[in-house]
């Protein structure tokens, strides 16, 4: 084998080694990171609120925006349908049972998701959530009173983290929110 052939063989070996590293190490690490991020987006305690900025709207009438916002929130992976109702109300009907969802996580989501909808959609006044055989109704005015601030101020990630997300770890806080702000039918 001459020098030129040796260089070519060496380059082929290095190429296969690099390909093996990319396919066997780098891609699986990237995939694991993406899967971890997706799992975090299904939990209100670890959800990335900053990913929702693109869904900010003055008007609830944009059903495409409304549906994309709710697909990006916890329970976004559960099949659902949407309806826009009179009096600036919207309805989300989850078409499948939210399996494995603890009562505490359900209450956290019923605080997190409607609050996110009200913070990001300016004229949405009421949200009805049909989930596992129950209808949960949350009103913007109640949520605004609960937090004691204009909901628009919670669009800031720091304010959202401090006023909404970090407080979800306090079971008594979540229970009080649920009792005082969620009507169950």
Average pLDDT, the chain: 90
- Helix (H/G/I), strand (E/B), else coil: 45: coil
Locate the domains of the chain by residue range: 1-41, 49-184
Distance CA 2, CA 10 (A): 12
**What is the pLDDT, as a whole number, of residue 5?**
81
Longest dimension (CA), the chain: 83
- The whole-model pTM stands at 0.83
Most confidently modeled range among 34-43, 96-105, 113-122: 113-122
Report the sign of the C-alpha dihedral through residues 179, 100, 46, 171, in that order. Answer: positive
**What is the pLDDT, as a whole number, of residue 156?**
93
Provide the b/e sequence for 78-94 (b: ≥16 CB within 10 Å).
bebeeeeeeebbbbbee
What are the residues whose beta carbons fall under 8 Å from the beta carbon of 74, sequence distance 6 or more?
41, 42, 43, 44, 47, 109, 112, 113
More confident residue, 176 or 6: 176
Residue by residue, DSSP assigns 111-174 as: HHHHHHHHHHBTT--EEEEEETTEEEEEEHHHHHHHHTS-GGGGGSHHHHIIIIIGGGG-HHHH
More confident residue, 147 or 34: 147
* pLDDT over 90 at 98, yes or no: no
Q: Answer for the pair 76, 41: CB distance below 8 angstroms, yes or no.
A: yes
- Helix (H/G/I), strand (E/B), else coil: 95: coil
**Between helices 140-147 and 103-120, what is the axis angle to 10°?**
100
Of 35-49, 51-65, 112-126, 141-155, the one with minimum mean pLDDT is: 35-49
**CA angle, corner 98, sides to 124 and 52, nearest 5?**
40
* pLDDT over 80 at 32, yes or no: no
pLDDT tens-digit readout, 55-75? 999 999 899 999 999 999 999
More confident residue, 5 or 28: 5
**What is the pLDDT, as a whole number, of residue 34?**
66
**What is the pLDDT, as a whole number, of residue 29?**
64
* pLDDT over 90 at 35, yes or no: no
**What is the pLDDT, as a whole number, of residue 150?**
94
* Structure tokens that stand for 99 in this block: 């399996």
Please report, rounded to a whole number, the percentage of residues in the chain having pLDDT higher than 70: 92
């Amino acid at each position: 084998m001459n020098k030129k052939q040796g260089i070519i063989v060496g380059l082929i070996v290095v190429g296969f080694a690099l390909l093996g590293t990319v396919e066997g190490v780098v891609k699986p690490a990237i995939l694991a990171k993406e899967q971890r991020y997706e799992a975090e987006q299904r939990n209100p305690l670890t959800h990335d609120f900053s990913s929702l900025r693109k869904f900010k709207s003055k008007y609830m009438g944009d059903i495409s925006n409304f549906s994309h916002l709710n697909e990006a929130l916890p329970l976004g992976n559960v099949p659902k349908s949407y309806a826009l109702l009179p009096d600036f109300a919207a309805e989300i009907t989850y078409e499948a049972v939210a399996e494995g969802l603890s009562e505490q996580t359900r209450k956290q989501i019923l605080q997190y998701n409607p609050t996110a909808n009200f913070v990001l959609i300016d004229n949405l006044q009421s949200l009805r959530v049909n989930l596992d055989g129950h209808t949960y109704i949350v009103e913007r005015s109640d949520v605004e009173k609960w937090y004691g601030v204009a909901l628009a101020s919670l669009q800031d990630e720091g304010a959202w983290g401090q006023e909404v997300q970090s407080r979800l770890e306090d079971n008594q806080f979540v229970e009080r929110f649920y009792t005082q702000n969620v009507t169950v039918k």
